[in-house]
Amino acid sequence: MNEIVEGFIEAIRLIVTLDPEVLEITVRSLVISLIATVLSAAVSIPLGSLLYLREFPGKGAVIGVIQTLYSLPTVIAGLFIFLLLSNAGPFGFLRLLFTPAGMVIAQTVLILPITTGLTIAALSGIGREVRDTLLSLGATEYQSILAILGEARFAICSALLLGFGRAISEVGAAMIVGGNIRGQTRILTTAISLETSIGNFSLSIALGIILLLLALGVNLSLALLGRWHH
Amino acid sequence: MNEIVEGFIEAIRLIVTLDPEVLEITVRSLVISLIATVLSAAVSIPLGSLLYLREFPGKGAVIGVIQTLYSLPTVIAGLFIFLLLSNAGPFGFLRLLFTPAGMVIAQTVLILPITTGLTIAALSGIGREVRDTLLSLGATEYQSILAILGEARFAICSALLLGFGRAISEVGAAMIVGGNIRGQTRILTTAISLETSIGNFSLSIALGIILLLLALGVNLSLALLGRWHH
Amino acid sequence: VQQKAALRIATTTSLYDTGLLEEIERAYEEKTGTDLLITSQGSGKAIELARRGDVDLLLIHSPPEETAFMSAEDGLYHRCFAYNYFLLLGPPEDPADIKNLTAIGAFARLHQLGRSGNPDVRFVSRGDLSGTHHAEIRIWRSAGFNYTSDVQGSGRWYIETGKGMGESLQVANEKDAYILADTGTYLAFRSKLRLVPVIASDEELLNRYSAIVINPGRHQGTNDEDAKEFVNWLLSEEGKEILTSFGGDAYGAPLFTPLEEGICESEPFSCTCSLIP
Amino acid sequence: MIRASCISKTYRGRTVLDGVDLSIERGEIFCIVGPNGAGKTTLLRILDLLDRPSYGLLQILGEDATGSESVRFRIRRRMSMLFQRPVIFDTSVFDNVACGLKFRKMGEDEVRGRVKSALREVGLPGLERRRAKELSGGEMQRLALARALVIEPEILFLDEPTTFLDPESANIVNDTMVRLSRDRGTTILFTTHDLYEGERIADRIGVLMDGRFSQISEALEILHHPADLRVAKFVGFENILRARCLSWEAGEALLDLEGQKIYAISGGRCDGDVFVCFRAESVSVGVGEEPIASPRNKFRGTVTRISAFGPFVYITIHCGFDIVAMLTRRAMDELMLDLGSEVWASVKATSMRVFAGAGDAAKKTGTEKH
Amino acid sequence: MIRASCISKTYRGRTVLDGVDLSIERGEIFCIVGPNGAGKTTLLRILDLLDRPSYGLLQILGEDATGSESVRFRIRRRMSMLFQRPVIFDTSVFDNVACGLKFRKMGEDEVRGRVKSALREVGLPGLERRRAKELSGGEMQRLALARALVIEPEILFLDEPTTFLDPESANIVNDTMVRLSRDRGTTILFTTHDLYEGERIADRIGVLMDGRFSQISEALEILHHPADLRVAKFVGFENILRARCLSWEAGEALLDLEGQKIYAISGGRCDGDVFVCFRAESVSVGVGEEPIASPRNKFRGTVTRISAFGPFVYITIHCGFDIVAMLTRRAMDELMLDLGSEVWASVKATSMRVFAGAGDAAKKTGTEKH
Ligand SMILES: Nc1ncnc2c1ncn2[C@@H]1O[C@H](COP(=O)(O)OP(=O)(O)OP(=O)(O)O)[C@@H](O)[C@H]1O
Ligand SMILES: Nc1ncnc2c1ncn2[C@@H]1O[C@H](COP(=O)(O)OP(=O)(O)OP(=O)(O)O)[C@@H](O)[C@H]1O
Ligand SMILES: [Mg+2]
Ligand SMILES: [Mg+2]
C-alpha cells in the first residue's frame, strides 16, 4: 500500500513542480478527449434525437445494437481504426496513424454508442406530452427537439460526462492508434500503462490521480457552466 | 482491412466449431462481468437511492466525486485492487490475486461509480410529485424507493447495461488483477489484448465479435425479461 | 505531420521499458534533428506494424521471427547491434534446487518437478510470442521437449500469462514461480520482487537485439533513408558508446553490450553488424 | 375554418371516435360537452393536428389537413391548444409563455410586450420571473392559457380551460374567450363539464357521446330540446319517468303515467312504452287549492326531500311517482314548504319531452360503455 | 381529529400560509374554498404531513404531528390524499389502485376485492387491466380517487376532487364522500371552486384568503352572512354598492345610496362610507304598480342587460346605480321582461349586508396580491 501513499506524494510533487513532460501529456489527454467528446456530441445528439423521434421498422434493433456497442472493447475499437488508418489500409494516405488526430477519431468512435444511447435514454425520459405541447405551440421538428433537449439538459450533460470519462480513461484505442510515442501521442493513460509495465507503480498512481483531478476539473466547469447558464 | 473480413470468418469458425478454449474464456468473461454487474447493482441501487433521497451537507460534492470517478482508468482501478490483494498487501491472505473472484472485485469497483451515478440520474428523472404520492399512499421510505425505482426501471436497466458493458469490455483491471493466466483467469478482453500484442489481428477481431455477440445476448435477454415482466 | 525528417520506429516493450531508447532518442535528435517516433509494442504487433509499413524501422530481439521477416522480403537491411542475457529468476529458496545447473538442465528439472505435481515448483511463461517467449521456447526445445505438447498445458505448474514482462514478473513473484526475464525489466522491477536470479549468463540465455530497415518497396511512404542513417549511427562508435554506458547510473551495471564486427557473424550471434552501405 | 367529416379514431381495436362530422365557421365559439371518455380530448387532438384520425376527412383553414407533415405544420402554426393536463416547462413563467413566440422567431421586444399583456389577460401580471413549477394549480392553468393565447392563433382549442380556476378567474377567462372571438375573429373550440359555461359563451354546443355527436345546436335548444334520452339525462333533466303512450295527434301526445293522464308535446309519433322527461325548473309548485291556470298536467303530492343548491332548492314530491322541482329559496319560504307539505306540482305540456323507451335505454350512461 | 393552530408556511420569503387555525371533528366534511393561490393546496399538504409548516402546532388523530418522522409516518398511514394534479403511475389501473394496499402488505385476495369495489365506487368498473396512462382526463381523476379511497383512511384529503368529472360522475363522487363520512366516520377535507358543491355536502366551509381563513362556518351562513367584503365578493354577492351611513339604531342602518334611502340590517354600528351588498337572488322583480308588500327597499329602473345562466336569468336593472337580479326563466317569461322594460326591484332589509368601506377594499381580490 506504500505505493498509493507514494503515489499521492508523487502526484503533488508533479503538480507543484509543473513537471513539463507530465504537463504536456496531461494537456494532450485533455484536448484529445475533449475534442472526441465534442465530436461525439455533435454526432450523437442529432442522431439520438432522430432515433428517438422517428418511427421506422427495426428501430428497436438499432437501439439494441447501440446498447450492445456499450460493450465494445477499446482494443477492438482501436484495432478497427488502426486497420483503417494504417499505411496498408484504405485511409493510410491520410497519415493519421500515430497522430493525436487519429486518437481523436478512435476515441470518438469508441464513445459514440454511449453518448448516442444515453441521449436516447435522456429524451425518452421526457414524456410524450411535452412533445405534443411543443408541437401545438408551433415548434418545428427541429425546435421541438431543441426544447426537449433543453428539458433533458441534465441527463444529456451527464451522458456527455460519461462519454468524456470513457474517452479520457481508455487506453486500448489510444495505445493502438496513437502508439504512445513520447512527445507526440503519449497521453495520461498510455503513460500510466507504460509506468505500470515497468513497475513504476507510484508514478502510475500519481498520473492516475492527475487524471482524476483533470476529470474533476471538467466536472466542475460543467457544473459551473450549468449554474451560470441558469 | 482483410483482417476484419478474416476476423468475421474466424469468429464464425470459432463459434461453429465450439472451440473449447474460446468457449471457456467466453463463459468466464460472461460470468465474471455478470457477477460484477449484479454486485455493483446490489451496492449502487441502494446507495444511489440514499444519495438521491437524503439531503445532507456536501451532497453535491459526493455526486461530483462519483461523476469524476466515471473517468477512473481501468489500469488504476486494477492497480489499486492489485496492491490490496497482493501478497504484500493488507488482503493478501485472502489469496484472491490472479483468481476470477479478484477480477470480480476489480470490475465491481470499476463500474460502481457508473451504476451509482446513473441510478441517481434515473431517480432524479422521476419528479417530486411521484414521491409525494407514494408517501401519501402510506409508503415507508423503503417502499417509496422501491416504487420510484419501479417507475425508473428502464433508466436503471440501461444503467446496469452500461455497467455490464464497461465490465465486460475493460481490460486493464482484469489484466492486472487477473493476470490473464491461461485456463484460469484469461477472459475475452485479455485474450484480445494478447492476440493483438502477438499481431494476430484477425483472431483479436474474431474474439471481439464474440464479445459483442455475448453483449447482444445479454441485451436481448434483458429486453425479453422486461417484456415478459410487463 | 512530417515537416522535418521523422523516423518511425517500432520496438518491443522489453527494450523500450529499460529506458535505453529514450536516451538514444535524446542524443540522436540533438545530433541530427531527425524526429524519432518510437512506439513500443508487443513483439508480434511491432513486427506487424513493420510489415504494414506503418513504421520505418523495427527494433527486435526474436531471431526466428527476424529471419522470417527478412525472408518474406519485408525488410531491407537486418543488423544486430547489442546483446545481453536473459535471467532465470526464482524464489530465493530455490525449491527446485537448480541453482547449479545449466539453463537446459534447469528447464528439464523444472519440467520434471512440475509435471510430477510438486506444489512448490511453478513456472511462469509470458506466453505472448514475444522475443523473451521465443527464447524460452528455444530453450525448452533444446532441452528436448516438444513445446506445444510437452510443456504448454502440461499442468497447473506451467502458468501462461500472455502479457508483458513486467506484469509476468508480478505474477511470478506473487506465485513464487520461476520465470525467464530480460535483464532490463528485471532490474527495473528488482525492488518489488522477492524473486532472485537463479541462473544468469548461460550461452542458452543469450538475448540479441537487432534493427531491421523496412523494405520501402513493399509500401509507399516508408522512410528508408533516415532509417539507414539511424542504424548506421547506432552501429557507429557514438552509438556503441551510449549502449556501453547505459544502465550504469540507474542499475549499477551496464545493461547491453554492443556487438562488434568480427564477433557478430559467428556463433552464437550469427548476424550482420556492418554499416549499411 | 374547420370541416371534419366522418373522423374516426381507434386505439388498439377500441373505437374512441366513431364518425364525427363537424363544421365550424370563422369566429365561432363552439363548446363540446360529454361524459368522461366520450372522446372530447381525442377529437381536439386530432383537430390540432397532433394525432391523425384512423379514418375521415379534415379540412382546416381552407387546406387539406390529412396530407403531408409540412402542410400540417403550416396549419398547426396558425392554431394553438390548451391541454387538459397542461405541461409546465421547468423554466420561468416568462419563458413558458414566450415559448411559442420564440418558435416563430419574434423580436425580443415584441415577445416581452406580448407576454406581459397575455399574463395580464389571465390575471397573472408581474409574475414573469417566478419559477413556473412553483405556481399553484390555478395559476399554472392560467399560465398555460396565456401560453396558448399569446401566439394569437386563428383557431384556439381549449380542453377544459376553467379547470382549477376560482369563479372570478373563470369569468375572466370566459370573457377573454368571448372578446377574442368578437374582436379578433378567433375561432374557439372548447370542452367543459359545466353546461352553463357552454351556454353562457358558446354559439353552439355539441354533445359528444360514445365517440359521436348526439346533438349539435344552440345552448337553449340542447337544454330544452335534447335530441334523445341520453342527452336529456346528460343535460340535467331531473325527471325521467316511464309512461305509456295512449294516443298521439298533431304533435301532442296523451300519456299514461302510473294511472295519471298527462299531455306532452312530441314532434315524432309516439307509441307503446316511452319516457317522459322534464326539467326540475319546469315544475311549478303551489299549495292549497288546485290551480286553475293553464298547465294541463297537475299532480298532487307530498314533499319527501329538500336539498339546497346555492340560492335554490330541489324538492322531491311524491305523487305515486317522484317528481323533482326546483324553486328559489325565497319561493320556498313564501310557500312555507317543509318535509311532508302537501303541494300541487304542474308542468306545461310544452316542457315535456317524450322519447321512445327502448328497453333499458334509460340506464345507459357514458361510463358504463366500457 | 385535526387541531391546527397558527400554521404558517413561507417559501423563500414569500408567506403562503399566515397563521391558519383549524379544528375538525371525526366524521366531519370540511370544505375549503378560496381564490387561486390562497394556499389551499399548501394547507392540505401540510395536514397530510407531506410538508412541514414553517411555524405552528399540529395535532392529528390525537398525536403531535410536528415531531419525528416515525410518528408522522404512523399518522400518515391513517390518512390519504387526492392531489390536485394526481400522478398516475405507468402501470395498469389495477396496480395503480392497489398501490397503497400493497404498501400495507395486504393479502392478494383482499387487495383484489377492495380494488374492484373502489373502482366500482368511482364508476370505472372492470377497467383493472387497462394501461392507466391511456385513460381520459376524467377517468384518470377517478382512478386517483379510487387509489385514495381504497385504503379506507380515517382522514381523507381531496384537492378539487371533481375536476375533470362529468356532472354525473361528480355526483357519484359527492355521494361517495357523504356516505364515507356517514357510514364509516371518515373525516373529509376537500377543496373546490364550486361553492354549491361545498354547500351540498360539507358540514362547514372555510374561506381561505391570502393564507388565512377569513370565515369558517356553515354553508348558508357563508352564502348569506359573509364575514367581510372580500368573502362577500368571493361567494358571489353580485350587488356591491357604495353608500353612506345616515344613522344606525338597534341593528338597523339607514343608508344613503345615490340619493335613495335604504334600510339594512347591520350587526355592527355603521358610520361614514360603507358598502352595501346583497345577492342577485334576493332581489324581487315586479312590473307595474309599486308593490305595497313588505320589503322597504324599492327601486324603480330599466332592464339594461339580460344574460342566461342555465334555467336562470340575470338581469341588470339601472336605477341610478346598477342592480343585478336573478329570476327563473319562467318568471321572466311570465313578467314578459325584455331589454328596456320598466321594473320594480325590491330587497329586504334582512338580505342586505353592510361593510365598512375602507377606501379601495372593494377592488382587492385574491389574484391581485402578487
Ligand atoms: N414550492 C413552492 N415554492 C414557492 N412558492 C410556492 C410553492 N408552492 C406553492 N407556492 C405558492 O404559494 C401560493 C399558494 O399555493 P397553493 O398551491 O397552496 O394555492 P391554492 O390555494 O391551492 O391555489 P389553486 O386554487 O390555484 O390550486 C401560490 O402563490 C404559489 O405560487
Ligand atoms: N393513447 C390512448 N390509448 C388508448 N386509449 C386511449 C388513449 N387515449 C384515450 N384513450 C381512450 O379513449 C377514450 C376517450 O378518451 P378522451 O381522452 O378523448 O376522453 P374525454 O372525452 O376527453 O374524457 P374526459 O372528460 O375524461 O377528459 C377513453 O376511454 C380513453 O380511455
Ligand atoms: Mg379529456
Ligand atoms: Mg391548489
- Check residue D17 and give its pLDDT: 96
> Is the Cβ atom of E38 under 6 angstroms away from ligand 1?
yes
- Please list, in sequence order, all residues whose beta carbon lies within 8 angstroms of the beta carbon of residue B21, skipping any fewer than 6 positions away: none
Could you tell which of E135, E163, E173 is best to mutate to test the pocket of ligand 2, judged by most ligand atoms within 8 Å of the CB? E135
Confidence of residue B227 (pLDDT cuts 50, 70, 90): low
In whole angstroms, what is the distance from residue D90 CA to residue A151 CA?
A: 7
Q: Can you say how many angstroms the Cα of residue C174 is from the centroid of all Cα atoms in its chain? A: 23
In whole angstroms, what is the distance from residue D254 CA to residue A91 CA?
A: 97
CATH number at residue E114: 3.40.50.300
Q: Which residues of C touch A171 (CB under 8 A)?
A: none
Confidence of residue A78 (pLDDT cuts 50, 70, 90): very high
Q: Look up residue D209 and give its three cell numbers.
A: 357521446
CB distance D148 to D81 below 8 Å: yes
Final residue belonging to a domain, choices E189, E224, E259: E224
Q: What is residue B164's three-state secondary structure?
A: helix
Three-state SS across A177-220? HHCCCCCCCCCHHHHHHHHHHCCCHHHHHHHHHHHHHHHHHHHH
Could B137 and E80 be called an inter-chain contact, meaning their C-beta atoms sit closer than 8 Å? Answer: yes
For residue E138, give the ligand 2 atom closest to its CA: 26
Residue D231 forms part of a structural domain: no
Could you count the other beta carbons within 10 Å of the beta carbon of residue C104? 17
> Mind listing the pLDDT tens digit for each residue in E40-69?
999 999 999 999 999 999 999 999 999 898
Could D168 and E366 be called an inter-chain contact, meaning their C-beta atoms sit closer than 8 Å? Answer: yes
Residue D134 forms part of a structural domain: yes
User: Least CB-CB distance to A68: which of B114, B205, B215?
Assistant: B215
Those residues whose beta carbon sits under 5 angstroms from the ion ligand 4 are D 136-137; E 40-41, 84
Q: Bigger pLDDT: A109 or C18?
A: A109
CATH number at residue D279: 2.40.50.100
Q: Look up residue D44 and give its three cell numbers.
A: 381536439
> Mind listing the pLDDT tens digit for each residue in D248-306?
887 888 888 888 888 888 777 777 888 999 999 888 888 877 766 656 788 889 999 99
Instruction: Pick the closest to residue E46 from E81, E14, E89, E85 (CA basis).
Output: E81
Does B175 score more than 50 pLDDT?
yes
Residues D295 and D323 in one domain: yes
In whole angstroms, what is the distance from residue C166 CA to residue E206 CA?
A: 81
Final residue belonging to a domain, choices D156, D189, D224: D224
- Check residue E294 and give its pLDDT: 59
Instruction: Pick the closest to residue B168 from B68, B35, B20 (CA basis).
Output: B35
Residue pointed to by grid coordinates 365561432: D28
What residue spans of chain B are helical by DSSP H? 2-16, 20-53, 59-68, 74-85, 100-124, 128-136, 141-151, 153-169, 172-173, 188-198, 201-229
Q: Look up residue E359 and give its three cell numbers.
A: 377606501
Residues E215 and E169 in one domain: yes
- Check residue D330 and give its pLDDT: 77
- Check residue E358 and give its pLDDT: 55
CB distance C121 to C93 below 8 Å: no
Residue nearest to atom 29 of ligand 2 (CA): D37
Residue E77 forms part of a structural domain: yes
Radius of gyration of chain A (CA): 20
Residue E370 forms part of a structural domain: no
Peptide bond into E295 cis (omega under 30): no
A119 Cα–ligand 2 center, Å? 31
Min Cα separation A116/chain C (Å): 32
In whole angstroms, what is the distance from residue D190 CA to residue D32 CA?
A: 6
- Check residue E190 and give its pLDDT: 97
Q: What is the dihedral sign for C-alpha A209, A211, A212, A214? A: positive
Residues E103 and E193 in one domain: yes
Chains that touch B (3 or more CB pairs under 8 A): A, C, E
CB distance D10 to D54 below 8 Å: yes
Residue nearest to atom 27 of ligand 2 (CA): E137
Q: What is residue D46's three-state secondary structure?
A: helix
Final residue belonging to a domain, choices D164, D190, D224: D224
User: Which amino acid is located at B127 in the chain?
Assistant: G
Min Cα separation A208/chain B (Å): 6
In whole angstroms, what is the distance from residue D294 CA to residue D348 CA?
A: 8
Q: What is residue A132's three-state secondary structure?
A: helix
Least confident of B33-37, C171-175, E326-330: E326-330
User: What is the overall mean pLDDT for chain E?
Assistant: 89
Give strand pairing partners of C181. C87
pTM: 0.84
In whole angstroms, what is the distance from residue E307 CA to residue E312 CA?
A: 9
> Mind listing the pLDDT tens digit for each residue in D159-171?
999 999 999 999 9
- Check residue C254 and give its pLDDT: 86
- Chain A's closest residue to D149, CA to CA, is A137
Residue E301 forms part of a structural domain: yes
Min Cα separation B1/chain A (Å): 6
CB distance E161 to E188 below 8 Å: no
ipTM: 0.83
E192 Cα–ligand 4 center, Å? 9
The parent domain of residue E281 ranges over 237-365
> Is the Cβ atom of E84 under 6 angstroms away from ligand 1?
yes
CA atoms within 13 A on the CB side of C26: 6
Confidence of residue B173 (pLDDT cuts 50, 70, 90): very high
**Domains assigned to chain A:** 2-229 (1.10.3720.10)
Q: What is residue E5's three-state secondary structure?
A: strand
Full strand arrangement of the beta sheet holding D79-82: D79-82, D155-159, D187-191, D29-33, D204-209, D212-217
Residues D22 and D133 in one domain: yes
Please tell me if residue C125 touches chain A, with a CB cutoff of 8 Å.
no
Could C163 and B199 be called an inter-chain contact, meaning their C-beta atoms sit closer than 8 Å? Answer: no
> Is the Cβ atom of E89 under 6 angstroms away from ligand 1?
no
CB distance A82 to A177 below 8 Å: yes
User: Which amino acid is located at E182 in the chain?
Assistant: R
- Check residue E293 and give its pLDDT: 61
Q: Which residues of D touch E370 (CB under 8 A)?
A: 124-127
Q: Which residues of C touch A180 (CB under 8 A)?
A: 39-40
Residue nearest to atom 3 of ligand 1 (CA): D134
Does D358 score more than 70 pLDDT?
no
Residue D305 backbone class (left: φ over 0; alpha: ψ -120 to 50; beta: rest): beta
Q: Look up residue D214 and give its three cell numbers.
A: 348526439
CB distance E279 to E292 below 8 Å: no
User: What is the overall mean pLDDT for chain C?
Assistant: 90
Full strand arrangement of the beta sheet holding E284-286: E284-286, E342-347, E297-309, E312-319, E321-328
Residues D241 and D220 in one domain: no
Q: Bigger pLDDT: C170 or A30?
A: A30
Residues D85 and D183 in one domain: yes
Instruction: Pick the closest to residue B148 from B53, B83, B59 (CA basis).
Output: B53
DSSP D235: T
User: Which amino acid is located at C57 in the chain?
Assistant: L
Residue D100 forms part of a structural domain: yes
Does B229 score more than 80 pLDDT?
no
Residue pointed to by grid coordinates 361567494: E235
For residue E35, give the ligand 1 atom closest to its CA: 25
Please tell me if residue A139 touches chain D, with a CB cutoff of 8 Å.
yes
Give strand pairing partners of E347. E297
Output the ligand 2 site: residues, CB below 6 A.
Answer: D 11, 16, 34, 36-42, 84; E 134-139, 164
D43 Cα–ligand 3 center, Å? 9
> Mind listing the pLDDT tens digit for each residue in D170-228?
999 999 999 999 999 999 999 999 998 999 899 999 999 999 999 999 988 998 899 99
Residue pointed to by grid coordinates 493483438: B196
- Please list, in sequence order, all residues whose beta carbon lies within 8 angstroms of the beta carbon of residue C21, skipping any fewer than 6 positions away: C9, C11, C15, C38, C40, C59
Angle at B222 between CA B218 and CA B225, to 5 degrees: 135
DSSP C34: P
Pairing status of strand C158-160 against strand C123-125? parallel
Question: What's the whole-number mean pLDDT along residues B100-129?
Answer: 92
Instruction: Pick the closest to residue E144 from E81, E190, E92, E50 (CA basis).
Output: E81
Q: Can you say how many angstroms the Cα of residue D282 is from the centroid of all Cα atoms in its chain? A: 20
In whole angstroms, what is the distance from residue E91 CA to residue E133 CA?
A: 8
Q: Look up residue B90 and give its three cell numbers.
A: 493488507
Give strand pairing partners of D262. D255
In whole angstroms, what is the distance from residue D58 CA to residue D79 CA?
A: 15
Residue D370 forms part of a structural domain: no
Chains that touch C (3 or more CB pairs under 8 A): A, B
Min Cα separation A135/chain D (Å): 7
Q: Look up residue C166 and give its three cell numbers.
A: 513486467
Question: How many domains does one find in chain E?
Answer: 2
In whole angstroms, what is the distance from residue B164 CA to residue B16 CA?
A: 26
In whole angstroms, what is the distance from residue D46 CA to residue D79 CA?
A: 12
10-residue mean pLDDT series, chain E (370 residues): 94 92 95 95 96 94 91 94 93 94 94 95 92 93 95 96 93 94 95 92 95 93 90 91 86 86 80 88 83 74 88 88 87 86 88 74 37
In whole angstroms, what is the distance from residue D46 CA to residue D3 CA?
A: 12
- Check residue A214 and give its pLDDT: 93
Residues E46 and E168 in one domain: yes
CB distance E90 to E133 below 8 Å: yes
CB distance D324 to D283 below 8 Å: yes
Residues D46 and D114 in one domain: yes
Could you count the other beta carbons within 10 Å of the beta carbon of residue E275? 23
Does C3 score more than 60 pLDDT?
no
Give strand pairing partners of D20. D7
How buried is residue C3: exposed, middle or buried, by Cβ count under 10 Å (0-12/13-18/19+)?
exposed
Q: Which residues of B touch E132 (CB under 8 A)?
A: none
- Check residue D311 and give its pLDDT: 74
For residue D42, give the ligand 2 atom closest to its CA: 18
- Check residue E295 and give its pLDDT: 63
- Check residue D293 and give its pLDDT: 61
Residues D220 and D85 in one domain: yes
Give strand pairing partners of E340. none
Mutate to test the interface with B, among E41, E61, E88, E99 (most CBs of B within 10 A): E99
Residues E215 and E260 in one domain: no
Instruction: Pick the closest to residue D248 from D225, D272, D277, D279 (CA basis).
Output: D272
Residue D230 forms part of a structural domain: no
- Please list, in sequence order, all residues whose beta carbon lies within 8 angstroms of the beta carbon of residue C159, skipping any fewer than 6 positions away: B181, B182, B184, C122, C123, C124, C125, C171, C172, C175, C177
Radius of gyration of chain E (CA): 24
Could you tell which of D8, D9, D11 is best to mutate to test the pocket of ligand 2, judged by most ligand atoms within 8 Å of the CB? D11
User: What is the overall mean pLDDT for chain B?
Assistant: 90
> Mind listing the pLDDT tens digit for each residue in E299-327?
889 999 998 887 788 999 998 889 999 88
- Check residue A136 and give its pLDDT: 94
Question: What's the whole-number mean pLDDT along residues C156-170?
Answer: 89
Residues E75 and E96 in one domain: yes
Residues E259 and E220 in one domain: no
Does B20 score more than 60 pLDDT?
yes
Q: Number of H helices and number of E strands within chain E?
A: 10, 20
